Amino acid sequence: MTRAMQTTLAILVALVLLAAFGTFYVLEEGEQAVILQFGRPVGAPATEAGLHLKVPFIQEVRRFDKRLLIWDGAPNQIPTAGREFIWVDTTARWRIVDPLKFLKSVATESGAQSRLGDIIDSVVRDLVAANPLVEIVRSSAWEPPKGEVLEEVGPEILAELKKEVRLGREGISQAILTAVQKVTPEYGIEVFDVRIKRLNYVESVREKVYVRMISERKRIAARFRSEGEGRSAEILGNMEKELREIRSGAYRKVQEIRGKGDATATQVYGGAYGRDPEFYAFSRTLESLKESQNKNSVLVLTTDSDYYRYLKEANPSRAKARR
């Protein structure tokens, strides 16, 4: 075999191998594919995992994900039916169910994400603008609080709390999903759910809400403070009343004891006077002298005073000498 023949055979083998490798392609689990020939789709999409055939060199395989995909939109500023401006952040789960339609309409996943954003944002804006804020933020199973909690809020907030919820956030989310599902099949897309991920007031409305919350808290604090001051005054009044009663009782007891003491003293004095009037007079004179004197007192006695008489009787010789 000449060298030329060997070269030709090698080239033929290489071409056969290339054709063999170009004829087969493998789809993994979670993948689906569309065959393109000269840029146009041909045949039915391949949706099952395994080994598949195609014409080598003139056909190519365009693969698409068959699993659930996530669409996460940017927050949008939307007015509600009551003209309250809020930020609405939504998310959705979707998948490609018809790769041929998908390829013809949006071509790629990034194109599908962009188209889903336009559809979902439009539906969300329409439904949010058609419903009051209470329907968007509350659950359909929400019930207003009862009992003492309602006594702490003002009439305006009380009216808000008692508003009935017709749809609720779940109902609005379901309405969004229903509206989106009517549009997406023409793009080969199936949307499984749409969720309102987060709601928030815009800055200007948020400031007003904070001011109202602060005002409400101050009103409640003032009511509690007033009740506390009233209770404090009541407690202090009761305390003063009890103190007056205690003092009155103590004073009455003192007077009773003092009266009994004075009566006993009178009896003692009367008994002493009855036994020895002269000694009683002498004792009383000494007591009055003691009570009327201090360390700086000067005593001046006349000759006819009782003090002088008792002193004279106690020492007659000294009294005569002084005369």
> Could you tell me if residue 229 is inside a domain?
no
In a shared domain, residues 57 and 123: no
Question: Which three-class secondary structure state does DSSP give residue 284?
Answer: helix
Judge whether residue 17 has pLDDT over 60. Answer: no
What does pTM read for this prediction? 0.59
Give the chain's domain count. 2
> Could you tell me if residue 162 is inside a domain?
yes
Contact (CB, 8 A) for 35 and 61: yes
Question: Which three-class secondary structure state does DSSP give residue 21?
Answer: helix
In a shared domain, residues 25 and 118: no
Average pLDDT over residues 152-157: 58
Mean pLDDT is highest, among 68-72, 83-87, 295-299, 309-313, for 68-72
Percent residues over pLDDT 70 in the chain? 72
Name the domain boundary from 154, 169, 201: 201
Name the domain boundary from 14, 32, 65: 65
Judge whether residue 215 has pLDDT over 50. Answer: yes
Judge whether residue 316 has pLDDT over 60. Answer: no
> Could you tell me if residue 85 is inside a domain?
yes
Alpha helices in 182-276 (DSSP H): 203-275
- C-alpha span between 147 and 282 (Å, rounded): 85
- C-alpha span between 86 and 88 (Å, rounded): 6
Q: Which of 101-110, 172-181, 246-255, 310-319 has the lowest mean pLDDT?
A: 310-319
Judge whether residue 84 has pLDDT over 70. Answer: yes
Name the domain boundary from 201, 219, 234: 201
In a shared domain, residues 197 and 157: yes
Question: Which three-class secondary structure state does DSSP give residue 64?
Answer: strand
Q: Which of 40-44, 114-118, 276-280 has the lowest mean pLDDT?
A: 276-280
> Could you tell me if residue 115 is inside a domain?
yes
In a shared domain, residues 104 and 61: no
In a shared domain, residues 156 and 136: yes
In a shared domain, residues 55 and 8: yes
CATH of the domain at 116: 3.30.479.30
Assign 263 a pLDDT band (cuts: 50, 70, 90).
confident
Calculate the CA 95 to chain-centre distance. Answer: 39
pLDDT value of position 181: 95
Domain boundaries, position 137: 69-201
> Could you tell me if residue 29 is inside a domain?
yes
